[in-house]
Each structure stands twice: as structure tokens, then as C-alpha cells.
Amino acid sequence: MRLPKTLEKISEFFRRLPGIGKKTADRLSLYLLQMPQEDLENFSQNLKQLKTTTKKCRNCLNLTEEDICPICQDEKRDQSIIMVVETPLDLLAFENGQIYEGVYHVLYGKIDPLNNIGPDDIYLKELFERIKNNIDQLKEIIIATDPDMEGEATAMYIRDKIKEIDTEEKLKITRIASGVPIGANIEFADYMTLKKSIQGREVFK
């Protein structure tokens, strides 16, 4: 004996989501029983139309319900700086901090040969096309892929390709800083992070 049929199907669906195990899925499903019917119906409606309403921005590939996303449309953003990120969640992390005034390009992944993801499997072609077409308006490309092995390899690949496009070396190509996270304990930092924190040290004014 498990849950009643409908609940069981809902729990099975939850279990397919990342990071949700059997017990959590059951707990979430049962919780839904206490929610107002109206809220469940609105949620259902949103789920149904999710994939048709949500598109990728024609310019930067960020998720949007319009052709061009609000960031690319925003005249206050500096269109001469493109930050390359792996996922829309990475973009969101920077946006939540309100620490960046340029625009983005979302790759939807990183080069990962072990998992059979090559340069053509992510939105790299679109990035290079965009840089090529706008080279006169661009000043800087910030590469903000994850500082892990695949992210580093992707960053290097992007850097080399941009250099091929930007033969006059007009563009500044930068990489986000790595080091000990703010608020963390140095004693718990790993060797590579500490090494980066020394290599990237700055004059302390």
C-alpha cells in the first residue's frame, strides 16, 4: 500500500525534480491537500502554459515572455559589456545582488566532454555571432562560467574564440575573480581556492 492514486502520481512527478527524494515528494504532495482549490488551479494553469509563454531572448537567450528580454530592452543597461553565464539561475544571482549594469549572454551549460557536451551543444555560436555583429559597440566580455574544471575549460575556449574574432584586440576579455568567499573561514577553504586567493591578491588600500 502506498498513497491514493492521484496523490501517488503527484508524488512521482515531484520525485523527478532535482534534489527531491521519495519522502520529500510525499510530504509536498500531502501538503497540497491543505491548499485552496483556487491556488491549485492557478498553478495548474501556469504549468500548462509555461512552455509556450516562456521563450529565450533573441539577443541574450535569457528567459522571457517577450521576444527581447527586459534586460536587453533596458536603456539604462550598458550594452557594451556582455557577461557570459552558464544558466538563467546564474544570471538571476547577479541580478538579485543588483551589482552589474551590463547585459548578459546565457549559454545553457558548459563544455563537458565527459558528459558528451561539446561547444555546439550550448549557445556559443550565438555568442560569437553576437560579438561579431556588434564588435564596434562592445567594450568588454566578462566570462562568468563556474570556477570548476568544465567552467574553466569553457572560459578558455570562449577567450580563444573571441581573440580569433577580435583580431584588432579592441575587446577587454575578463574572468570573474575566484578566492575565499566573503564570510567564510580560511581554515575550511580548499587548496585551489587558497591558491587563487593568493594569485589574485590586490593592493590593500
Residues lying near a copy of itself in the complex (CB under 8 A) are found at 1-7, 9-10, 13, 16-20, 23-24, 26-28, 30-33, 35, 37, 39-51, 53-54, 63-65, 70-71, 74, 87-89, 92, 95
Between 68 and 194, whose beta carbon lies closer to a copy of itself?
68
Residue 58, φ and ψ in degrees, nearest 5: -65, -20
| Distance of closest approach, residue 52 Cβ to a copy of itself, in angstroms | 8
Q: Which single residue is written with the C-alpha cell 501556469?
A: 46
Residue 94 corresponds to which cell in the numbers above? 547577479
Q: Nearest-5° angle of CA 125, CA 119, CA 50?
A: 70
Residue 197, φ and ψ in degrees, nearest 5: -70, -25
| Distance of closest approach, residue 18 Cβ to a copy of itself, in angstroms | 6
Residue 104 corresponds to which cell in the numbers above? 548578459
| Distance of closest approach, residue 144 Cβ to a copy of itself, in angstroms | 16
Between 83 and 171, whose beta carbon lies closer to a copy of itself?
83
Between 92 and 165, whose beta carbon lies closer to a copy of itself?
92
- CB contact at 8 A, 157 and 127: no
| Distance of closest approach, residue 51 Cβ to a copy of itself, in angstroms | 5
| Distance of closest approach, residue 162 Cβ to a copy of itself, in angstroms | 26
Between 33 and 203, whose beta carbon lies closer to a copy of itself?
33
Pairing relation of β-strands 63-64 and 55-56? antiparallel
Helix (H), strand (E) counts: the chain? 8, 6
Spatial distance between the Cα atoms of 147 and 141, rounded to a whole number of angstroms: 16
Between 73 and 134, whose beta carbon lies closer to a copy of itself?
73
Closest CA to 159 of 169, 149, 57: 169
Between 13 and 192, whose beta carbon lies closer to a copy of itself?
13
| Distance of closest approach, residue 177 Cβ to a copy of itself, in angstroms | 22
